Amino acid sequence: MDSHNDKPTGKPVEDHVQPSRRRFVGTVAAGIAGGATLAPALASAQSGTQAVNSPRPLTPPDYPKPPFQRQKQEWPGLASKMTPRPDHGETTYKGSGRLTGRRALITGGDSGMGRAAAIAYAREGADVAINYLPAEEPDAREVADLIRQAGRKAVLIPGDIRDENFCKKLVADAARQLGGLDILVSNAARQQSLESILDLTTAEMDQHFKTNLYAMFWIVKAAVPLMPRGSSIIVTASVQAYDPSPNLLAYASTKAAQVAFTKALAKQLGEKGIRVNAVAPGPIWTPLQVTGGQTQEGLEKFGSDSPLKRPGQPGELAGAYVNLASAESTYTTGQVYGVTGGAGFP
């Protein structure tokens, strides 16, 4: 199931080291602001490899800007069929062993931010299981190849997370095949553009809440008993939780609920040593947009109203997911990190 949508010099940070708050803030700022574009300066693509001192480019990446061509795919869509194709960090993200030995489950890991996180996690040394809908198998196989090229284990678990029983099985299968579970990224989502509440059916509202909220609840509930101290749960929320678009009433409602879920759960799990945070993307170029998440008119100008005058690429959020999962964030829980290109909140 599709996600929202990709893509410093010095010694690598070992997973057990706890840096100062000043170092953490600087690291998060660099990871979130630069994403995969700053990551190449971290180290070589092989996880755990010594960092390389190399010049860091000052010019921003030349990512696509609107106008975009009109295009439409049947939901859930494939990133491989989008024009332009999203950048999930396939050729740019470099790892430095920050998640060596970790075991991650990512829903919506075939495309969008889920794919970007999967690639980054593998290159940081983690084994990764991804969930997706069977229709997304071509994209999922590409991700699996990239995980294996990084020398890590890839586990593919297709299935529909709108089913509670499948969610329970998903977590159990992922933990069994990975040998445990200490990172969970709840990322898969549904987004449909509807101009009026009069056009929003009960069935469509149900699909949004089943995919975006209930599935997250079911998966987290199954995962928590399996997760040791030091584990991390990361929710992909959205700027829509804070600055909702009128045509995304159902989607924005689920995202606002996810933010409250994240903050409340963080308080519950604090004593267990499990951290819970969220990433709130702005307009990101993913299959959500071409499968009904935007109108065709909206697709043409997608991202143009952000200060950067373009949508983000999934790989630009990879650094946020890595930082929140790593030991550099051991005092960070109940937080929502906005990666919005300057638009909206938080």
C-alpha–C-alpha distance, residues 9 and 28, integer Å: 15
Residues 6 or more apart whose CB falls under 8 angstroms from that of 217 comprise 261
The residues, any chain, with a CB within 8 Å of residue 55's CB and separated by 6 or more, are none
pLDDT at 81: 96
Of the pLDDT bands very low, low, confident and very high (cuts 50, 70, 90), residue 15 is: very low
Whole-number pLDDT of residue 1:
52
What is the structure's pLDDT at 53? Answer: 62
Mean pLDDT confidence for 8-36: 38
**Which is nearest to 346 in space by CA: 325, 326, 320, 328?**
320
**Residue 345: per-residue pLDDT:** 74
- Is residue 179 in some structural domain? yes
251 backbone dihedrals φ, ψ, rounded to 5°: -60, -50
Confidence of residue 233 (pLDDT cuts 50, 70, 90): very high
Please tell me the least confidently modeled range out of 20-34, 77-91, 320-334: 20-34
pLDDT at 321 over 80: yes
Q: Given this model, what pLDDT does residue 57 score?
A: 72
Q: How many domains does the chain have?
A: 1
Average the pLDDT over 14-29 and give the result. 39
Does 15 map to a domain?
A: no
pLDDT attached to residue 24 = 37
In a domain, 183, yes or no: yes
Question: How does pLDDT run across 198-225, given as a tens digit for each residue?
Answer: 999 999 999 999 999 999 999 999 999 9
Q: Residue 212: inside a domain, yes or no?
A: yes
| Catalytic site positions | 251
- Does 184 fall in a domain? yes
Task: State which residues form the domain around 249.
Answer: 21-51+86-339
- What angle, 0 to 180 degrees and rounded to 10, lies between the N-to-C axes of helices 318-325 and 21-34? 150
Give per-residue pLDDT as tens, 86-114.
999 999 999 999 999 999 999 999 999 99
Judge whether 5 lies within some domain. no
Give backbone dihedrals phi and psi of 240, rounded to 5 degrees, phi first.
Answer: -65, -20
- Note whether residue 58 is domain-resident: no
Q: What is the pLDDT averaged over residues 35-49?
A: 38
pLDDT more than 70, % of the chain = 84
| Predicted confidence (pLDDT) per residue in 146-185, tens digit | 999 999 999 999 999 999 999 999 999 999 999 999 999 9
> Which of the 8 DSSP states describes residue 21?
H
pLDDT, averaged across the chain: 87
Question: What is the pTM assigned to this prediction?
Answer: 0.84
Would you say residue 65 lies in a domain?
Answer: no
Top pLDDT among 346 and 342 is at: 342
* CATH number of 223's domain: 3.40.50.720
Q: How many angstroms separate the CA atoms of 9 and 94, rounded?
A: 11
pLDDT in tens, 266-299: 999 999 999 999 999 999 999 999 999 999 999 9
Report the alpha-carbon distance of residue 139 to residue 82 in Å, rounded.
Answer: 12
